[in-house]
Amino acid sequence: MDTQEKIRSQVTSNPVVLYMKGSPKFPQCGFSGLAIQILQACGVKDLVAIDVLADPAIRDGIKVYANWPTIPQLYINGEFIGGSDIMRSMYEQGELQKLIETAN
């Protein structure tokens, strides 16, 4: 399976997927840490966190997949939602909580 197919499979077979640097317990970047905090504040139950530092092909491939040059990247029900700025903005407006609820 090539990287793009692998990513497509990851984001479509799991309700909430976060591509991040490090792990939820030990994020390796402030933006990834913020993304995890926001998801936890939204009450996410079934989060799949993928550490891009552990897989260079995914780290490069994910930027192509969503035409988005930065990490973290959040996907809900297969759809690209945004990076940490968009997550924060949607959280402040109460929109992200609703999306997470549909995925829980």
Partner 1 sequence: MLSANELKAYIASGLACEHIEVLGNDGQHFEAVVVSSAFVGKSMVQQHQLVYQALGDRMRSEIHALSMRTFTPEAWANS
Rule CB under 8 A: choose which of 4, 28, 40, 70 binds partner 1. Answer: 70
Number of residues that bind partner 1 (CB under 8 A): 15
Binding track over 81-100 against partner 1, x by CB under 8 A: xxxxxx--xx----------
Structure tokens at 99: 């999306």
Question: Do 73 and 83 contact (CB within 8 A), yes or no?
Answer: yes
* Length of the chain as a residue count: 104
Q: State yes or no: residue 53 binds partner 1 (CB under 8 A).
A: no
Q: Select from 77, 91, 79, 80 the least CA-distant residue to 36.
A: 91
Of residues 5 through 44, those in contact with partner 1 by CB under 8 A are 30-31
Question: Do 74 and 103 contact (CB within 8 A), yes or no?
Answer: no
Instruction: State the nearest-atom distance from the C-beta of 6 to partner 1, in Å.
Output: 21
